[in-house]
Amino acid sequence: MKWMNTIIKYRLWLGVVFLAAAIFVNYQTSFWPSFILYLVGVVLIVGHFLFGPMRLIQTYMEEGDMEGAKKVVDGIMFPKLLIKPMRSVYYTIKGNLAMVDQDYDSAEKHMKQSIALGGGQLTKAADGPNKLQMGMLQMQKGNIKEAESYIRQAIRAGLPDKENNAAAYLQLCSIMMNKREFRAAKDYFKKAKSFKATTPQIVDQIKQIEKYITRMPG
């Protein structure tokens, strides 16, 4: 909803305007006629600092506008004031954006901050995807042992859809192939295929592995 995004985008300044209007009305009349203006102003300002513009960031990322998302994220001046679930999302997004820039050290730092927050329904729902992301990050850095640990934790924590599950088992398949544990690699590959993922990148990865996995011993 565009109107909601507009309110979120200008929530802080709208709050300031309402507070200014409340002070003016209070000065001209009395407190009670200005009460609703005070209330709306405070709610908007407090909401800006506690909830942040996460909806705006998500919209930019869904549209593939990483520069727009980065601009909004960088505009959050006091992330520690965000409530825990929003703070977890903030660090996850920071990690994702750092991954896009191939800044793996920053990505790891932010993803670990997100995972460390824990607790809460929203953060628990993000726990699996966050750990999967950390596993993939460790794969990029060549830390295979840590990658396997995070991916197994992600599967245990629960992943939200078939695409994430397929990606997790494909990563485990690759790890087992590198460790020459071919029977396990085949089992994980079979599991990955069973999710019937439709993401082009995952489908292509399955096709590439399928070309030679049947020729493996075990």
Indicate the pTM of the whole model.
0.80
* 29-81 pLDDT per residue, tens: 999 999 999 999 999 999 999 999 988 888 887 788 888 989 999 999 999 99
pLDDT of residue 201 exceeding 80, the answer is yes
Q: Answer whether 122's CB lies under 8 Å from 85's CB.
A: yes
For residue 62, how far is the Cα from the chain centroid? 12
- For the chain, what are the domain ranges? 161-218
Out of 55-59, 136-140, 181-185, 191-195, pick the least confident.
Answer: 55-59
Structure tokens at 86: 């929003």
Q: Mind giving me the DSSP string for 155-217? A: HHH--SSHHHHHHHHHHHHHHHHHTT-HHHHHHHHHHHHHT----HHHHHHHHHHHHHHTTS-
**Residue 164 · residue 199 · CB < 8 Å:** no
Q: Give the pLDDT confidence score for residue 124 in this predicted structure.
A: 63
